[in-house]
Amino acid sequence: MPAPDRPGVTCPFCGLVCDDLRVGPGTRGLAVTENGCAVAARGFGQVATATTGPRIAGAPATLADAAAAAARLLAAARRPLIGGLGTDVQGARAACRLADQTGGVLDHMNGAGAIRNLLVLQDSGWITTTLSEIRNRCDLLILAGGDITSRFPRFFERTIAAPEALFGGDRQCATVFLGRGPQAGVTLPGPVEVIGCEVAELGQAFGLLRALLAGRPVQATSAAGAPLAVWQGLADRMRAATYGVVAWAAPDFDFPHAELAIQTLCELVKDLNRDTRFSGLPLGGSDGDITVDAVSLWQTGFGLRAAFGAGGPTQDLHQHATARLLASGEADALVWVSSFDPARTPPASTVPTVVLGHAAMTLPAEPAVFIPVGTPGVDHAGHLFRTDRVVALPLAALRGSALPSVAEALDAIGAALEGGR
């Protein structure tokens, strides 16, 4: 059934989860005709490979047989890892059920980045804001780690570059990039400053800013490769802002103990709120990472990297990392889920693997079981959380599809496990 042309489509391909796209049939897959971006065009334009049925060891199989094969594999495992988890709310609900049923571990393909924020949340907390507040109030936006529009292309358009604001149209938002400057073609409404600095050393800069704001004597003459005067200037502007915001995307903080840099940043924001208003904005949500964390958290008390066993759920943000579990042999089976992005294939490992993959996925190695699944918001309805962890938006089915959802496939595996008892 061809997809009709429709407005008001919600896009599941990044953490902004924009709900104003117009999507119709394209020459390849679906085409975004209004309010699109590079990420949406790529996501909606993906088309299934020629072989779109389930496979057991490479041989075509029915969904029921594939689920039964996956169940046998899981039944034989002591500690299965349910990883990838590129899915929506319903898929996450099913993954939590299966993890509990099999004594498994849950981790997300973006887990390494996500825990940099989660560690801060668990240890000290933060003061944050959401997209609409930024759109209407923000007069100083700092991008820690540099431009984020490659990951979230419409971020500026939907926030500070919006034509109108609730509290007066004359509001001008200044933007400061720490690290890389804006991408070519990005237009910003107000003054733009780029502080060229080493992202991996930003923790120093945030510490220095805290000291400057507190009026402490400082010895340093520079931080993160930028001179003291630059940071003093930024500190003054932060103090003078009416509603400042500092945004960061955890994947950009890819260096050892990045959580400490993020924590210093969050403490800096707390300091500023003693006298003025200032907020953080952790950017994430792509591939359903925030969604899966939220679902696991509300059901079980623990989010990403939760593990299930006889004593109840536990969580270890370091020990339960996909790479570590696979490398150490602690995980002896892998269920890999990626329903948004065919490029996110499972990591190389020697453990028996079940893949619930986007129908366009080409795998580097044939897994024990492959089940092609539909994409929420394209092939079937669903729900996805936005970057702010507040707004969960409904996703619509845009075309008829015979593909099972991740939830259906995982539930079939769970049912086969029950039946095999």
Partner 1 sequence: MLIRLAGGRVYDPAHGINGEIRDVWVRDGHIVATPGPDAPIDQTYDLTGRVVMAGAIDMHTHIGGGKLNIARAMLPEDHRRDPRPRTALTRGSCGHAAPGTLATGYRYAEMGYTACFEPAILPVNARQAHLEMGDTPLVDKGGYVMLGSDDFLLRLMASGAEQRLINDYVGWTLNATRCIGIKVVNPGGISAFKFNQRRFELDEAHPFYGVTPRDILRVLSRAVHELGVPHPLHVHSSNLGLPGNYPTTLGTIDAAEGLPIHLTHIQFHSYGAEGDRKFSSAAARIAEKVNSTPNASCDVGQILFGQTVTASGDNMTQHRNAGLASPKKFVVMDIECDAGCGVLPFKYRDQNFVNALQWAIGLEIFLLVDDPWRVFLTTDHPNGAPFTTYPHLIRLLMDKTFRNERLGLIHADAKALSTLASIDREYSLYEIAILTRAAPARLLGIPDIGHLGAGATADITVYRDEPDRERMFTAPEYVFKDGRLVVRDGKVVQVTWGRYHMVAPAYDRGIERRLEEHFARYQTMRADSLRISDDEMAAFGHGGELRTHPCRGGTP
Measured CA angle at 364 (ends 361, 367), to 5 deg: 80
Of 379, 388, 408, 411, which lies in the binding site for partner 1, with binding defined by CB under 8 A? 388
Nearest distance from C-beta of residue 299 to partner 1, angstroms: 5
Q: List, in order, residues 6 or more apart from 82 with CB less than 8 Å away.
A: 95, 98, 99, 102, 104, 105, 106, 107, 335, 337
243 is an interface residue for partner 1 by CB under 8 A: yes
Instruction: Give the binding range for partner 1 (CB under 8 A) out of 44-52, 210-218, 252-260, 380-388.
Output: 380-388
Could you say whether residue 76 binds partner 1 (CB under 8 A)? no
How many angstroms separate the CA atoms of 19 and 393, rounded? 8
Q: Does 78 bind partner 1 (CB under 8 A)?
A: no
Strands 382-385 and 59-60: unpaired
Instruction: Count CB neighbours of 46 within 10 A.
Output: 20
Distance, in Å, from the CA atom of 302 to the CA atom of 284, rounded to the nearest integer, reads 18
CA 15, 145, 322, 311 torsion-angle sign:
negative
Q: Is 200 in the site for partner 1 (CB under 8 A)?
A: no
Q: Which is nearer to partner 1, 102 or 353 (CB)?
A: 102
Question: Residues 98 to 157: which contact partner 1 by CB under 8 A?
Answer: 100, 118, 121-133, 135-137
Instruction: Decide whether 129 or 204 has the Cβ nearer to partner 1.
Output: 129
Q: What secondary structure letter does DSSP report for 255?
A: S
Map the footprint of partner 1 across residues 271-310, applying CB under 8 A: 273, 276-277, 279, 294-295, 297-303, 308-310
Q: Does 312 contact partner 1 by CB under 8 A?
A: yes
Tell me: does residue 22 bind partner 1 (CB under 8 A): no
CB of 169 to partner 1, least distance (A): 11
Q: Return the biggest CA–CA distance within the chain.
A: 70
Please select the residue that binds partner 1; options are 224, 250, 383, 408, rule is CB under 8 A.
Answer: 383
Q: Closest by alpha carbon to 271, among 209, 226, 216, 201?
A: 209
When the beta carbons of 155 and 370 are compared against partner 1, the nearer one is: 155
Task: Return the number of the residue (135 or 324) whose C-beta is nearest partner 1.
Answer: 135
Q: Which listed residue (57, 76, 166, 402) binds partner 1 by CB under 8 A?
A: 166
The token pair at 192 is 């733009």
Number of residues forming the site for partner 1 (CB under 8 A): 67
> CA separation (Å) from 357 to 84, 261, 361, 363?
10, 35, 6, 9
Contacts of residue 9, defined as CB under 8 A and 6 or more positions apart, other chains included, come to 19, 21, 22, 23, 377, 396, 398
Binds partner 1 (CB under 8 A): choice among 2, 311, 364, 419: 311
How many angstroms separate the CA atoms of 226 and 221, rounded?
9
Distance CA 144, CA 415 (A): 46
Is residue 93 at the binding interface for partner 1, with CB under 8 A as the rule? yes
Shortest Å distance, C-beta 43 to partner 1: 19
> Considering the complex, what minimum distance in angstroms separates the CB of residue 79 from partner 1?
15
Under rule CB under 8 A, residue 394 binds partner 1: yes
- The interface with partner 1 within residues 247-276 (CB under 8 A) comprises 270, 273, 276
Task: Give the count of beta carbons closer than 10 Å to the beta carbon of residue 421.
Answer: 5
Indicate left, alpha or beta for 29 from its phi (over 0: left) and psi (-120 to 50: alpha).
Answer: left
Closest Cα partner for 329 from 349, 347, 308?
A: 349
Q: Which is nearer to partner 1, 344 or 386 (CB)?
A: 386
Q: Which residues bind partner 1 (CB under 8 A)?
A: 8, 10, 19-20, 89-90, 93, 97, 100, 118, 121-133, 135-137, 158-159, 162, 164-167, 242-243, 270, 273, 276-277, 279, 294-295, 297-303, 308-315, 381, 383, 385, 388-394
